Chains A and B, each alone.
Chain A
Amino acid sequence: MTGPIELTPFDLVLAGILILANGAVSLALDLRLGKRLAMATVRSVLQLSLLGFLLERIFAANGPLPVIAMLIVMAALAGVEAVRRTTRRVRGLTLVSTTVMLSTSLIIAFYGIHFVLEVDPWWKPQYIIPILGMILGNALTGISLGLETTLEGFARDRDQVESLLAHGATRREASKDIIRRAVRTGTIPILNAMIAAGLISIPGMMTGQILAGEDPMSASRYQIFILFSITGAVALGTISVVTLTSRLVFDERGRLRVDRIHSVDGDN
């Protein structure tokens, strides 16, 4: 096994030429991409450097508390971000999203760490933090798609839901079609990723491990483990968030309260 090649700040400047080249093209063709490109570049450099710096501290602290704090902050931020990506909101949405994100991703990460990898102690940051990070990144997509599809469904199919209610359907019976559609939409990206894994794309974790000199067979086993964990979290998270959100648009007498849904200009 060979160790990873160290990247120096100079190497990153070399890589940055790729971004600069794109900026130059944008200027030349008047694409007005420059500002967004610069912003995204600066953000990613700052955020990743900060993450590296934080992780270094957490690794050095060698105790469970900083790790737990980091996990909670990461999951809560993902929960808030999932809502920020939607174009329709309802009161209580952030609470639902954050709670679901925290509980499902932590449960699944802990399951993988404790029962599959059998890491001892479970909070060893070099395992749980990257694994949770990967779970969160994917759960974020699934959950925000699920939220968006659910609220859009109730706003659009209001007449149908109300007709079902008028014939005696319960809240659950009347929202079944919308829930099913939202769960399906939320899980499409990760299922597609599973199908494409290894054929069209080499997933991020496997790429990282191979670059770091790990044996490819071992890297592929890790990748399978990660994909299973991610899919488990995305499915569980999407189902929970869609079910809970669908409750927010009904009141205590099971009336559909479309008036509770309001539109916002989404960030995406």
Chain B
Amino acid sequence: MSFFSCRNLTRKPWFEGKDLELHAGEVVVLRGATGSGKTLFLRALADLDPVDSGEVFLGEVERGSVSPGEWRRQVLYLRQRATALTSVVGSDYERVLALAGTRERKADLPTTLPLDHATEKLSGGELQWLALERALLVEPKVLLLDEASSALDRESAERFEARVLAYVAAGHAALWVAHDASLAERLGAEELPFP
């Protein structure tokens, strides 16, 4: 029984009949040429874009049988161009917690970035950190990372990767689209060609 899978996922002309299987605790890296539709594939898995046909499962649950919001919270897509949701780091965290229906005390919020920092002053890399921390707060089962650490320097990128690996090890899974040829090796992850 796979943790997360898709069968015959098709969106012409980008991908046709794609199958994929992820197990709990597993990270898989997708590599393919620019413009090959990797982003559209991740977005389709997260139910942010339509597909022509195919099915996506979380365990045995088919996507169509849960509400789109519930699905997306569990199969969370992290875009390359990370965006703040509010004007302050701490409010960004609170906003997603409110969406998830849980409000935690401020002391429990991640401290990678100062909570009172204005989001408009964050660099592209810091925004990517914000996006990761924000995503982990709602505890998704599957992380779909679309070049999600591309704006970070090598050292920060490695911390970012360690953070993802630790999260996945706790019984989650991640599918990572990246151009960085050494990512799969660093993560000790399987690398799949796309499409």
Contact = CB atoms under 8 A, between A and B. Distances in A.
A173 B47 CA distance: 17
Interface stretch (B4-12, B74-82, B107-115): B74-82
Contact of B135 (A167, A169, A251, A253): A167
Main secondary structure of the interface of B (DSSP, over half): mixed
A167 B138 contact: yes
A199 to B, nearest CB: 36
B85 interface: yes
A168 B69 contact: yes
Contact of B68 (A160, A162, A163, A255): A255
A11 interface: no
Given A160-B85, A253-B68, A168 B50 contact: no
Contact of A170 (B47, B48, B69): B69
A164 interface: yes
Contacts, number: 60
Interface residues of B, number: 27
Contacts of B47: 253, 255
B69 A169 contact: yes
A254 B68 contact: yes
A260 B82 CA distance: 23
Contacts of A160: 83-85
26 contacts: A159-B79, A159-B81, A160-B85, A163-B79, A163-B83, A164-B95, A165-B69, A166-B46, A166-B48, A166-B72, A166-B76, A166-B79, A166-B135, A167-B73, A168-B69, A168-B72, A168-B73, A168-B99, A168-B100, A169-B69, A251-B50, A253-B47, A254-B68, A255-B49, A255-B50, A255-B68
Interface of A: 159-160, 162-170, 173, 251, 253-256
Interface of B: 46-50, 68-70, 72-73, 76-79, 81-85, 95-96, 99-100, 131, 134-135, 138
